Amino acid sequence: MHAATLLSVLFSVLMPAKMWFAPSQPINVTIQADKQVILYATDFTGKKLDAKNNTVAPGAVANVTTIFPAVGTPGTYILYALPDGSTIPDSGAPKNFVGTPLLIEALPDRNSQAPAVDVTHVLPLQYAVMTTDAGPISAMFYYDVAPNTVNNFLGLASEGYYDGLVFHRVVPGFVIQGGDPLGADADPNRRGTGGPGYTINAEFNDHPHLEGVLSMARATDPNSAGSQFFVCLDYAQTKQLDQQYTAFGRVFDGMDAVKKIGGSKIVDDQRGAPETPTVIQHVDVLPVTPDHDPYPPAPVTANP
């Protein structure tokens, strides 16, 4: 599919002028709809943003920063298009939005003393469905606290990187781990040592490693993660990982498959090597729609 066509499919009703914006540039979005729409935005927790002149005609170009001034400050925001005449919710994700919402990552300028935006990344809000031998696993992501990790995972998944890899490490009651291109290597000493050829910086955060949370595997160096990830099985065992590993998402459907993998027969306890490793057949990165919307995430606490 041609790149421009793919972008049109992904962005649907809300089409940004580009995906990266400097602080001085307007965040322009074209309304690809037959009728006028109402723009509605929240932060990543679902808190409604104040709006100015948010009813936009079809085909018009809307400057998101002008309509929602808060987007000009560091943070992670979600932009929705609602049918004209819709009742605007007081907070949270609307039920009747059209197309795919936009995720707006106003990334902070680390060199500024005052809160300032370094660059803004605009992309379609997405989730992933991992098809495995044990069944499908659907995950949403912590874009707000681990944006680089999320984008790395989704980028690899979109390129088919994970297709055919296995969950090479299973520690019952603790984690299942996959994403290693050497996970099924003939030499067991090489399993668990592979990666995409680069590493990413850690994004440790306050999300606890509860059952179903996705987090990045790494070596001793905090900034040594690449493509390997794990899914938590029991918080009584994984609590020790909090703020030591980058939690970047959680399973919202398919924990039965995760637990099935977690119950695999282990033939090497030291390595956590399953007798028959579960294969990741394919990972679909999908745009959020009104029928499939796991965002914004409900507050996650250590004692739900």
- What token pair was written down for 101? 């919402």
So where are the chain's domains?
Answer: 3-124, 127-287
Backbone φ and ψ of 25, nearest 5°: -95, 140
Question: CA-CA distance, 144 to 28, in Å (whole number)?
Answer: 22
Average pLDDT for 222-245: 98
Contact present, 139 and 249 (Cβ < 8 Å) = yes
Backbone φ and ψ of 202, nearest 5°: -65, 150
Of 160, 90, 88, 153, the closest CA to residue 126 belongs to: 153
With H, G, I as helix, E, B as strand and everything else as coil, classify residue 238. helix
How far the first Cα of the chain sits from its last, in Å, is: 43
What is the per-residue pLDDT across 250-259, written as a single tens digit (0 to 9) for each? Answer: 999 999 999 9
- What token pair was written down for 98? 């059209």
With H, G, I as helix, E, B as strand and everything else as coil, classify residue 114. coil
Beta bridge partners of 132: 135, 280
Q: Determine the pLDDT at residue 10.
A: 55
Backbone φ and ψ of 156, nearest 5°: -65, -45
Average pLDDT for 254-281: 95
Name the more confident of 230 and 271: 230
Question: CA-CA distance, 142 to 124, in Å (whole number)?
Answer: 14
Average pLDDT for 72-95: 93
pLDDT-derived band at 303 (thresholds 50, 70, 90) equals: very low
Find out whether the peptide bond into 69 is cis, omega within 30 degrees of 0.
no
Strands 20-21 and 117-124: antiparallel
Average pLDDT for 228-254: 98
Contact present, 248 and 150 (Cβ < 8 Å) = yes
- What token pair was written down for 77? 């925001």
Of 79, 82, 80, the closest CA to residue 37 belongs to: 82
Q: How big, in percent rounded to 5, are the helix, strand and coil portions of the chain?
A: 15, 35, 50
Q: How far is CA 238 from CA 127, 153, 168, in A?
A: 24, 21, 18
Query: Does pLDDT of 296 surpass 90?
Result: no
Taking domain 127-287, whether its CATH number is 3.40.30.10 is answered by no
What pTM was estimated for this model as a whole? 0.92
- What token pair was written down for 2? 């041609």
Q: Determine the pLDDT at residue 1.
A: 38
What is the per-residue pLDDT across 159-215, written as a single tens digit (0 to 9) for each? Answer: 999 999 999 999 999 999 999 999 999 999 999 999 999 999 999 999 999 999 999
